[in-house]
Chains A and B, each alone.
Chain A
Amino acid sequence: MEMLAFLIPVALLLGLTGLGAFIWSVRSGQFDDPQGDAARILLDDDEPLTERN
């Protein structure tokens, strides 16, 4: 049972990290143009960052 005191916070922390990453990616516009991003990966000389607008 003592393990739980350790495992639950770890599980939550991992989950929160994932959630944070998700929110960051939505806010930075990575879900705005799924089609374009899928196509852009095929190009060599693209710019790394999505423009915020």
Chain B
Amino acid sequence: MTLTADMTKGCPSGLAPAGDQIDGDVSAFVRKVGGEKTLHLSVRGAKCAGCLGKIEAAVGALDGVQSARLNLSTGRLAVRWEGGLDPNAISGCVSDLGYGAAPFDPDASEGAAKSEERSLLIAMGVAAFAAANVMLLSVSVWSGHGEMGEATRRTMHAISGAIALPAALFAGRPFFRSAWSVLRRGHANMDVPISLAVLLALGVSISETIRGGEHAYFDACVMLLFFLLIGRFLDARLRRRTHVAAQELALLQSRSATRLDRDGSARSVKASEILTGDTILVAAGERVLVDLEVIEGRSDADESMVSGETVPRAITPGMRLYAGTVNLSQAIRGKALADADGSLMSEIGRMLEAGEQRRSTYRRIADKAVSLYVPLVHTTAALTFAGWLIAGAGVGQALMVAVSTLIITCPCALALAAPAVQVVAAERLFRKGVFLRSGDALERIAECDHVVFDKTGTLTLGVPELVEVDGMKDVVARAARLARVSRHPLSRAIVAAAGPGEVAPRVEERAGLGLEAEIDGVRCRLGAAEWVGANDAPASARLQLWYGEGDKPPVCFTFEDALRPGAAGIADALKRRGATLEILSGDRAEAVAEIAAKLGVDSWRAKASPADKVERLEALRAEGRKVLMIGDGLNDAGSLSLAHASLAPGGAMDVSQSASDGVYTGAGLDAIPTVIDGARVASSRMRQNFTLAAAYNLVAVPIAVAGFATPLVAAIAMSTSSIVVTLNALRPHVKWRAT
């Protein structure tokens, strides 16, 4: 079967909704090497083989394209071509197929993260190989105990050593390096006891082999490294996924804008190349990338992503537009008031940074466990050494026992305890449409006792819906003839209510007023009350639009920003989980009050600026509340990063998505109780795992201190503890409580 471009739009399997359409010109992102050009696109909505085939085939068939390769794991498409193909044809081709496409610059840090992951994987492979082979030899030594001659045993040990020594030195590098770098600065972390145990075990085993002794710990050494590297690799993989998500912030900043040069020619430039004073052309439907002062043109601005305000505002010359605003009806020209670094976006960027710093002081459970564990284990080993000396043992024997104590207590299970649970929980949530960005997010979400919601786009759909029509259904159909030409959100709501139909000829869009056309000799208007002729229109808190035909009395359309599915039950679901609720919105008080009343939330605040939101969260933090913030707009980004934990819906601004700990997809809010339950289960699993690791040590340490920790005992004890914590992480949840 060959998949062709003429199939259904978007993912053919229906796994993902069609992505957002691209905005702006991508030619600024083309890289040229010789005659060859490269463009990297971030593709949204590609999920299956059908998507892969469709995109690669369609892009590959474009004139001059040499290779088009889509990476499904990261959703990135790399295209190489020669000749004069317009790069916009490539992005246009992808969005015609029903996927969202945005250009991006692949950066160096991503390559570094990838190579770190690779080297951990290779180290893991080496450790696994060595562990398997040394274990074979060790088993024969153990089973031949008492019967095997000294020479044979020594040969076996020597071969084990020949495999384990290079393997351990190679596979242990990540630990040695990290331990050395912290030791030099006079600190200690988990890698210090690990490195010490591995190196001491190697040293003792070598000397035992040379002396022809009975016990060599080569197998313990490499097995230990193998288990530890599994945890390390899982951790690195989670972190890289986080990194990819965080890059979406850069994606927003690096979109292109149209700059008008002195000679009047329009050029597509990256947002980062815009300087203060440049003249920028913003087409209808395009997002503003830097703060602008409008020079020319009248239009409407959708600022819901910037302020949370749902009513579009009229744009007039001299007005200031913030980055993130969408220009709705007509092209405008503006003067850049600042470069991309100096705009509102970067102010929010600074808020994000402050929030991130605050959050980075959060100490993970694993760190707390290690800080207790490390000194305890090392003191025990030192005391063991001293104790055996005092009891009259030789230095060699005392050292042997002390080292075996260190090996058996090496934080193998401890290192696996948290990553195993995090990866399993993240995977489970992923299948339910929740994408977590960091492992410790689970711990923080589990602790939250107060939930703060943004309104527009979070509790509501952020898109107005036609709710009431005075009169007949066919009025809507007639108004839709005008509305179909406009990108205004209220026009779209009318079109959505009317369904498909005809478009009136020569519709004019009057910025700030509405739409006008002449149909069969009758002048029809759709727009503001006064303009249409409804002078005595009653004032209303709701969004309204009037429709008039000739001399007939105008008809009023009322709109409402509808609640998201699942929102009605969310308050109860969260209260049952012991959380209190609050709404912080940038929208008008009436709109917020209505939603709050519907949901049964007593505490709310309207007209909140980004700074107000941040301030409120600071106050809550000072009260000692642990806040879970849920929001989607640019105005929420600062508070999302400041909150103890945060979530953003899938349709949120990229900045907000990367400022939050997780993103939930799908239209409903049902995901939130699920995330909280999942986080609480994961958090308790981690605690159980640390308890198991501690219990293991309570049993293992006395055995080791007493000198009974032979390599066989060490191998059994260590693998048992690692397997037990992993199985505990994998254990299915008893039941996801119904929301």
Contact = CB atoms under 8 A, between A and B. Distances in A.
B67 A51 contact: yes
B72 interface: yes
A27 B121 CA distance: 10
A1 B152 contact: yes
Interface in B150-188: 152, 159, 163
B729 interface: no
Contacts of A53: 78
Which secondary structure dominates where chain B touches chain A?
A: helix
B157 to A, nearest CB: 13
A16 B52 CA distance: 36
Interface in B109-123: 114, 118, 121-122
Interface residues of B, number: 31
Contacts of A12: 133, 163
A45 B49 CA distance: 12
A46 to B, nearest CB: 8
A48 interface: no
Interface in B136-159: 136-137, 152, 159
A34 B132 CA distance: 26
Interface string A35-53: 1100110111101000101
A47 B60 CA distance: 12
A33 B133 contact: no
Given A8-B159, A32-B71, A39 B129 contact: no
Given A12-B163, A32-B114, A53-B78, A19 B71 contact: no
A27 B122 CA distance: 9
B125 interface: yes
Among B49, B57, B70, residue most surrounded by chain A Cβ atoms (within 10 Å): B49
A19 B3 CA distance: 37
Nearest to A29: B118
A31 interface: yes
Given A23-B125, A34-B73, A43 B49 contact: yes
A42 B57 CA distance: 14
B126 interface: yes
Interface in B407-464: none
Which secondary structure dominates where chain A touches chain B?
A: helix
B74 interface: yes
B1 interface: yes
Contacts of A19: 125-126, 129
Given A8-B159, A35-B72, A51-B78, A43 B52 contact: yes
Contact of A23 (B70, B74, B122, B136): B122
Given A32-B71, A33-B71, A39 B133 contact: no
Given A12-B163, A18-B129, A36-B73, A31 B78 contact: no
A15 B49 contact: no
B67 A33 contact: no
Contacts of A34: 73
Given A44-B1, A53-B78, A36 B70 contact: yes
B244 interface: no
Nearest to A9: B159
Contacts of A18: 129
Interface string B39-58: 00000000011011100010
A42 B72 CA distance: 14
14 contacts: A11-B133, A15-B133, A19-B125, A23-B126, A26-B121, A27-B118, A27-B122, A33-B74, A36-B70, A39-B48, A39-B49, A40-B52, A42-B49, A45-B2
Interface of A: 1, 8, 11-12, 15-16, 18-19, 22-23, 26-27, 31-36, 39-40, 42-45, 47, 51, 53
Interface of B: 1-3, 48-49, 51-53, 57, 67, 69-74, 78, 114, 118, 121-122, 125-126, 129, 132-133, 136-137, 152, 159, 163
